[in-house]
Structure 1
Amino acid sequence: MKPFIPDIILPTTVVGSYPAKPRRTLKSLFDPLHFAVEEAVSLQKKAGITIISDGQVRGDMIGVFASKLPGIRGSDVIGRVMPPDQAITIKDTAYAARQHPYVKAIVTGPSTIAYGLRLQTRLYRNKDELVPDIASALAVEAQGLSKTGAVMLQIDEPILSTGATDIDVAKKAVATIAESVSIPVCLHACGNIAHIIDDLLAMPIDILDFEGCVNPENLASFSGKELKDRYIGYGIVDSSSPVLEPADVVRQRLWKGIDILGPERILPDPDCGLRMHTPESAYAKLARLCGVVEEVRQELGGAVKNL
């Protein structure tokens, strides 16, 4: 199996979000959050992240997409959900791709969006009936994102581990988006995924990203599984706490992952997004992640040549 990015073992990445820090400038009169996008991109690069995001600074993960979909007003579904009239996050992703060779584009998953909304129309009897239309709408955005130069598309589905949504409906929705693009597709699932690991691995995705810090049992659930050529995004830095973990703790997590998954398929990252951190805490977390990974790369030097 080849590394995800040629000649780079253990390419680091982020789950997506970064603290938004608006600044008052002349440019901010037209786009109050453009500086926040610029800063998020710059600081991810400075920290040493291999595959960055645009920072996802423009709002909460549900609202930023739902607010642009016809058929949704606020948090209410008032009619048939349709594709967006205009691009939602494509501009920010394209900006990031102009600044850095490796960028992940991100959409919030259809099931997570559906279960964050209220049904105020009889067109949908329940939220699972809403999911396919949201998936079709997001597929249009995904197609645009895939043309920005991004090296992967990530679908965020934190709700899957809760059991609130129908996993078969979620599978079909993920497939709708994944099959609409030609770039590798990543699924990020929060929480304890051990009980749904087989369902997640059955989805048409190239990368499965999970939390490895607050839910360490997730890593063990991969033992003995047939992963084929699938890559694994493995959270080795705790995004739920502002505390900066010692390098030895992060290193131990990474080596455990290497023992189970092998170094060639791991994309080390934080457990989840860093939006709720201060900019200083978020940067420190990413710098710690990259520092540890670089040390492990050096330790793997002899083995990497044989991959």
Structure 2
Amino acid sequence: MITTVVGSYPVVKKEETFFDKVKKVFGLYDEYKYAIEKAVIDQVNAGIDIISEGQVRGDMIEIFTNKMYGFDGKRVIGKIEFIEPITVKDVLYAKNIAKKLNPKVEVKGIITGPCTISSSVRVENYYTDNRDENLIYDIAKALRKEVEELKKYVSIIQIDEPILSTGLYDFDIARKAIDIIVKDLNIKFAMHVCGNVYNIIEELNKFNVDILDHEFASNRKNLDILESIKKKVGFGCVNTKVKSVESVDEIKSLIEEGLEILKNNENLNKNLFENILIDPDCGMRLLPIDVAFNKLKNMVKATKLIKSEFSSLL
């Protein structure tokens, strides 16, 4: 059972020194560099196997719309096109820090999905509205180019599509958009969809991804999908909506409950531990830094306990 994160981490900024302020005057100061360092160090120290760069530069929409042609903030003012790599620089920085702390740690690439970006912007030009197929596909084409750059440096790429749990977007269009991003690329893809997904699992099973990642701590009803899911499972087991830290026993109990249900899944029950990734329910950006760290630490401890107990039975 590999441990990972969904993506975002609390943003911590250091107090600016005199030299930082001088750098800022010349446009050389990166106010988010320290936040990336903190996110990486905390994730590695917590024992996470596949970390993120923390997604510290804004919300999951702005990180991408701020760097694509055709957007002005969250306003669509023209045809959407890729300009330059968006997250690669931060991924490389995170990877360099992580390797110094633990050479075995890997870094994942994370992009926000085309339907979720489309749903979060105001269309003022070129497209009809934020459900226009052409808008969704053009965003997907731009993200494809981002992924082509990212894949050189990461072991897995996660596509965040939380909007799919709302039913607001057509699944056929969403699948075509994901295909644009992932087709013929030799790397594993995960798709994260938070919220209640127990009514749409058959639709999600049809997506061309290797892993479906969902919330199980804050949405216990989602446990129902584990008998019918056809992809590897990203198992969200700590609630990122609450500021209390779950105990190791609480997390362990939930993971064990999930594993018991997965034993009934004919597609996944042969290699249970290889078919499940352990992670938080969602991003942790809004949590206090100590809470986020301790949630991750307890999650890793719970996972190690389960693996240890399983090994002792062999």
TM-score w.r.t. the length of structure 2 is: 0.88
Which runs of structure 2 are paired with 1:1-307 in the superposition (5 Å)? 10-23=1-14, 24-25=16-17, 26=19, 29=24, 30-83=29-82, 85-98=83-96, 99-100=98-99, 101-129=105-133, 130-148=135-153, 150-179=154-183, 181-223=185-227, 225=228, 227=230, 230-261=231-262, 262-302=272-312
8 A contact 1:111–1:128 mirrored in 2:
no
Distance 2:130 2:293 in 1: 41
8 A contact 1:157–1:188 mirrored in 2:
yes
Amino acid at match of 2:244: V
Give the gaps of 5 or more residues in structure 2: 100-104, 263-271
Distance 1:155 1:173 in 2: 11
Q: Which moved more, 1:23-32 or 1:154-163?
A: 23-32
Q: CA deviation at 1:66?
A: 0.8
Give SS of 1:221's match. Answer: helix
Give SS of 2:109's match. Answer: strand
8 A contact 1:236–1:268 mirrored in 2:
yes
**Post-superposition CA distance 1:231-268 (Å, at most 9, x none):** 21101111110111122221110001111223221111
Give the gaps of 5 or more residues in structure 1: 1-9
Q: CA deviation at 1:64?
A: 0.8
Question: In structure 2, do the counterparts of structure 1 residues 125 and 38 end up closer, same or farther at CA, with 3 Å as the change threshold?
Answer: closer
Amino acid at match of 2:193: A
Question: In structure 2, do the counterparts of structure 1 residues 170 and 298 end up closer, same or farther at CA, with 3 Å as the change threshold?
Answer: same
TM-score w.r.t. the length of structure 1 is: 0.90
Distance 2:211 2:302 in 1: 22
Q: CA deviation at 1:127?
A: 2.1
Question: In structure 2, do the counterparts of structure 1 residues 42 and 255 end up closer, same or farther at CA, with 3 Å as the change threshold?
Answer: same
Amino acid at match of 2:84: Q
Give SS of 1:71's match. Answer: strand
Q: CA deviation at 1:269?
A: 0.6
8 A contact 2:226–2:258 mirrored in 1:
no
Distance 2:284 2:141 in 1: 28
Give SS of 2:277's match. Answer: strand
Give SS of 1:137's match. Answer: helix
**Post-superposition CA distance 1:3-62 (Å, at most 9, x none):** xxxxxxx11110000001111254674211011101100110000001100111110000
Q: Which moved more, 1:242-251 or 1:187-196?
A: 242-251
Give SS of 1:301's match. Answer: helix
Q: CA deviation at 1:97?
A: 2.4
Give SS of 2:233's match. Answer: strand
Structure 1 runs, 4 residues or longer, greater than 4 Å off: 25-28
Q: CA deviation at 1:198?
A: 0.9
Question: In structure 2, do the counterparts of structure 1 residues 180 and 142 end up closer, same or farther at CA, with 3 Å as the change threshold?
Answer: farther
Distance 1:126 1:36 in 2: 32
8 A contact 1:67–1:74 mirrored in 2:
yes
Amino acid at match of 2:108: K
Distance 2:274 2:242 in 1: 29
Amino acid at match of 1:141: E
Question: In structure 2, do the counterparts of structure 1 residues 151 and 87 end up closer, same or farther at CA, with 3 Å as the change threshold?
Answer: same
Q: CA deviation at 1:123?
A: 3.3
Question: In structure 2, do the counterparts of structure 1 residues 241 and 63 end up closer, same or farther at CA, with 3 Å as the change threshold?
Answer: same
8 A contact 1:142–1:181 mirrored in 2:
no
Count of matched residue positions in the alignment of Structure 1 and Structure 2: 290
Aligned alpha-carbon RMSD (Å)? 1.6
Give SS of 2:95's match. Answer: helix
Amino acid at match of 1:237: V
Distance 2:306 2:118 in 1: 40
Distance 1:128 1:216 in 2: 34
8 A contact 1:128–1:169 mirrored in 2:
no
8 A contact 2:122–2:130 mirrored in 1:
no
